[in-house]
Chains A and B, each alone.
Chain A
């Protein structure tokens, strides 16, 4: 009965490199959400996806960030040309349907940009 899986758990990148964060939702869940937690702050919503569709990306920075949730495979949060300010914990959550409300969170990926 696996929960939400995220990998890697820790990721170190140098400025200008690309970061790819992966999230496998709970089996049977078709809704995925990404949140970012900056140091000393609460979690901030980034994007909400269903299979092959972006439903709400109002929290995504306009540049360098993208997300996908393909028909097969995990959801991917991609950050191009990372900068030091991207250093944060990135959490993925999933739910079986949007009206269920409760979201199940993964352990997070801690990104450090040198």
Chain B
């Protein structure tokens, strides 16, 4: 079984300051990890994904995340927040089944609402 824990339900930053959204995961197998962003009343947009290649993953809009197996973490960061970053962010895990064949079930964290102050 796999699970995702987003450690903060709300994060508030000032424009121009760094962003850190924390995520820990649990998976029995080699996981694929994603960060999605959801703006109000909109669908989900993929920010970045980790699929066992480089542990530091760069995504869109200046976001990046580092996969740390020893800490089972996949925290999302951005050096400088912009007002347009205000949204809800979801950390997501997709794991392999026992046979080693990927299947599509995604497990979502509870979400972190990012607020950016001017």
Contact = CB atoms under 8 A, between A and B. Distances in A.
B118 interface: no
Instruction: Determine chain B's interface SS by DSSP, over half rule.
Output: strand
A98 interface: yes
Interface in B68-118: 90, 94, 101-111
Interface residues of B, number: 24
Contact of B49 (A42, A43, A99, A101): A101
B27 interface: no
A2 to B, nearest CB: 13
Contacts of A45: 105-107
Given A45-B105, A102-B34, 5 more contacts: A4-B43, A33-B105, A33-B106, A41-B110, A56-B104
8 contacts: A4-B43, A31-B104, A33-B106, A42-B108, A42-B111, A43-B44, A48-B103, A98-B102
